Amino acid sequence: MELILLRHGRTEANEKHLYCGATDWHLSPGGAAELRTLAESRPLPVFDVVADTGMYRTQETAELLCRGARRLSLPGLQEMNFGLFEQKSYDTLRFDPYYIKWITDESGDCSCPWGESRNSFYSRVRESFAAFVAETAADRACIVCHGGTICAILDSFCTEKRGFYDWQPDFGHGWQLDLTLRGNRPVLDRPRRV
């Protein structure tokens, strides 16, 4: 399968540099305009299936950028839930002891208060992505999701290894990959920027 993973367009939360995982933001007017320009300058192929995460920003991005025969919603591929850190900026949080504990945690077990840990986020994303692959018979598919989700998928399943944030694409951009199965495990090869 040819797979494209696309990051949603810019929201007002992104423009203000706020943590935005579980909060359901629409695209900002500027973000939508950027995507319309991108759709003209870089048209994507027609997909057998186009999936989003059920959040406004991914649905609206899919509507602007993707043409496909079938649409799916994959809520398991939503961004990390940042709990009490949602809709707050680094400048607001940088002296908060819970935030410091979370951002310095190397084990991945520390949760955002009332949110997720990195390990639970990765587990949810891996399970949802593997289920999508197992259930989807398509030659060409696109998943419109979130920056952290794309990083988690590629960090988990891509044969090429990079740092987590090295996988994060710009808004409206992403990665084109070759997807195969080895046993029941998805394998992503030949990442190319889109």
Per CATH, the homologous superfamily of domain 2-82+117-193 is: Phosphoglycerate mutase-like (3.40.50.1240)
**pLDDT tens by residue, 106-123:** 999 999 999 999 999 999
Instruction: Say what the pLDDT of residue 137 is.
Output: 85
Compute the distance between CA of residue 44 and CA of residue 63 in angstroms, rounded to an integer. Answer: 12
Residue 179's pLDDT band (cuts 50, 70, 90): very high
**b/e 21-37 (16+ beta carbons within 10 angstroms → b):** bbbebebbeebbebbee
Annotated domain spans of the chain: 2-82+117-193
